Structure formats: C-alpha cells, structure tokens
Amino acid sequence: MDVADMVHQANQIAQFFASYPAEEAIPGVADHFRKFWEPRMRKQLLAHVKAGGEGLHALVLPAADRLSNTMGES
C-alpha cells in the first residue's frame, strides 16, 4: 500500500477515536489495527512509525506502540 494511503487510513481511525478519553482511544485504535488490518499493513505502519511517523495523528503513535507490543515487535 502507498504510504500516503496508509497514513490517511490510520488517521481516519484515530480521528474516530479522538473524542474518547485517551485510556479508551489508544487501545481502541490499536485494537482496530489488530482486528481489521492485514499483517502487511500492520508491519508497514510500524515501520513508518519507527522511521518517524510523519503525518500520523497523535493517537496513532501510542496505539502503534501498543500494537507492536502485542505483536512481539519493537
């Protein structure tokens, strides 16, 4: 997937959860990635975050960290 498309999709998910308290929003975003994104998309997201995460919504970064921890990656 094109990085710009991936960032756009991740940001849409984060935007949905943005009105939730952080303690619900971050796990909600991470859970969405885990349940609905295929492994290649999740790996691409984590690689983008590791490279600096340019353009990602602020909720995506801690959600990606949480996702990384559940996938056994850092």
User: How confident is the model at residue 70, as a pLDDT?
Assistant: 83
User: How confident is the model at residue 72, as a pLDDT?
Assistant: 61
Per the structure, the count of domains in the chain is 1
Q: From residue 54, how far is each of 5, 7, 20, 35, 67 by CA, in Å? A: 13, 8, 23, 24, 18
> pTM score, two decimals?
0.91
| pLDDT tens, N- to C-terminus, the chain (74 residues) | 899 999 999 999 999 999 999 999 999 999 999 999 999 999 999 999 999 999 999 999 999 999 998 876 43
Q: What radius of gyration, in Å, describes the C-alpha atoms of the chain? A: 11
